[in-house]
Amino acid sequence: MNTFAMTGPRDQSSFLKEFASGLQREMETNGYHQLDEEIPPEIQLVFNFVDAASPRHFRRSGKGTFVVTVAEGKPQTNNILHTAYPVLIRSLGNLMIYLSTGNKEPETYFITLEQGCYPVKETFGTEGYFQEVFERLQPLATSQLVIDNTFFPDLPEPLWEGDGITRDIHRAGKKLDKMNLLPAPFPIQELLPPKDYRHIQRLYGIGGLSYGNLSARREENQFWMSARGVNKGNLHQIGRDILLIKGFDETTPAMEISVPPHIEPKRASVDAIEHWMIYTEHPEVGAIIHIHAWMDGVPSTEINFPCGTVQLAEAVADQIRKAEDPSRAVVGLKNHGLTITGRSLDDIFERIDGNILPQVPMT
């Protein structure tokens, strides 16, 4: 049975109260059962209503719980993302529905952890409004995260200092930095106390010094990849900056990583599952770059699944499968960025040079 719960104050305004009531009806119409009593650890979806000025988080008991922050506010500027994103982070949500009451007609926006910000087209109160909210929400809330790692201290000693491929990754990271394609995220550490910041990292792998990632195949479907939460413009140490992804355990699910025995390793990028699928299906792909930027005329995924989910990885893999040459594909991730395959890292840079748009269109 699909289950959901609502928590937090829903009576801060008549608008918020009406939104909560309408959302509840739409969820139940679509087969979801609301749990009114104590919320169990296995709950699938929680709507956490918060005060935008002092948001309180819902502390999950299990990683399978998807939390949608719901907040109402009057933005002081036209930049909804800049106003709303800190509320999402402070509330430890996976996604936020932001109800903007700054104009005559209330406006509704979805805010994602990847800094996506896009409006609900239907006007609040119209017949199709809650149906649109549900249709945008449902595929995100039912997606499966793959953020766990299993580390094996078995990296062969000749690779402890890397190889020619890791040196290529180091140079490629510097190129991305020079091209200004590694934008720094919002200062998450400054918005959260240390305990909550650690909690949000464990739950869905957010954090770090720069967005984007890059990888290159080593042999078979094993590949070197930039780690999570490191500066991609300065990749050096094996096991911390650059990891050898050697497998994927579907039962856990978790990425399997080979590291030097003397290193306290960093975790793998949340996009490692996506790279794994691509390398496994397409032996001719030698390298992959993911950036939060855009190119005109590229095919795109239809749904903006969260980073690190099986569904996003499958959606990207499907687009690459359809490409005329999967080894040299460019795929747009809706409201997010680009995944680019190449026969080598140099091959990717030769093709994207001069064609990159720094602003990702939000639809």
Average per-residue pLDDT in the chain? 89
Lowest-confidence pick of 141-145, 153-157, 163-167, 339-343: 141-145
Lowest-confidence pick of 189-203, 205-219, 317-331: 189-203
Residues 57-62 have a mean pLDDT of 82
| Residues 193, 46: Cα–Cα separation, whole Å | 23
The token duo for 257 is 């990583």
| Crossing angle of helices 310-322 and 272-281, rounded to 10° | 40
Q: What pLDDT, in 10s, does the model give residues 88-107?
A: 988 988 899 999 987 778 89
Return the higher-pLDDT residue of 157 and 146: 157
| Residues 216, 347: Cα–Cα separation, whole Å | 12
pTM greater than 0.75: yes
Whether the pLDDT of residue 264 is over 90: the answer is: yes
Burial class of residue 82 (count of CB atoms within 10 Å of its CB; 0-12, 13-18, 19+): middle
The residue among 297, 296, 287 whose CA lies nearest residue 339 is: 287
Under a CB-based contact definition with an 8 Å cutoff, are residues 304 and 242 in contact?
no
The amino acid at 131: Q
Whether the pLDDT of residue 209 is over 60: the answer is: no
The token duo for 92 is 């430890």
Whether the pLDDT of residue 233 is over 60: the answer is: yes
| Residues 64, 196: Cα–Cα separation, whole Å | 18
pLDDT band at 208 (very low <50, low <70, confident <90, very high): low
Cis peptide before 253 (omega within 30 of 0): yes
Q: What pLDDT, in 10s, does the model give residues 300-312?
A: 998 888 888 899 9
The token duo for 88 is 């999402």
Whether the pLDDT of residue 121 is over 90: the answer is: yes
pLDDT at residue number 328: 98
Residue 261, number of CB atoms within 10 A of its CB: 11
Residues 9-27 have a mean pLDDT of 93
Whether the pLDDT of residue 362 is over 90: the answer is: no
pLDDT at residue number 168: 98
Under a CB-based contact definition with an 8 Å cutoff, are residues 212 and 254 in contact?
no
The token duo for 14 is 């008549």
Q: What pLDDT, in 10s, does the model give residues 148-187?
A: 899 999 999 999 999 999 999 999 999 999 998 887 655 5
Residue 166, number of CB atoms within 10 A of its CB: 22
314-326 burial string, b = 16+ CB within 10 Å, else e? bbbbebbeebeeb
